[in-house]
Amino acid sequence: MELSGINPLENLSAELPQSSAPKPKSDFAAVFNQSIEDLNAVQHQSKELSNRFAAGENVELHDVMVASQEADIAMRLAVTMRNQVLEAYREIIRMPV
């Protein structure tokens, strides 16, 4: 049985590509604005179904309740996200320079 030594590794650092950081697909402001628009649409749909049900139109009660709960959950999510963003901002402000 023949034993051989360990071959040295080639310089791997020269193989790294010289590219800039990947650009994000969308910026925070665009995502935030789209989320607010979606929340507004869900709230509007819930209100519209509630008004139609109250006016006696042919709208099922369970559809009104589902839309109402979706709007409630969307609003809670938005408030929670807002609170977390504010907490992160406060944490950054408290960091020593």
- DSSP state string for the chain: ----PPPPPP--GGGS---PPPPPSS-HHHHHHHHHHHHHHHHHHHHHHHHHHHTT-S--HHHHHHHHHHHHHHHHHHHHHHHHHHHHHHHHHHS--
| Confidence (pLDDT) at 94 | 95
Contact 67, 44 (CB under 8 A): no
pLDDT tens track, the chain, 97 positions: 677 777 776 655 555 556 666 666 668 889 889 999 999 999 999 999 999 999 999 999 999 999 999 999 999 999 999 999 999 999 999 998 8
Spatial separation of the C-alpha atoms in residues 35 and 18, rounded to whole Å: 35
The pTM of the full predicted model, rounded to 2 decimals, is: 0.66
| Confidence (pLDDT) at 46 | 97
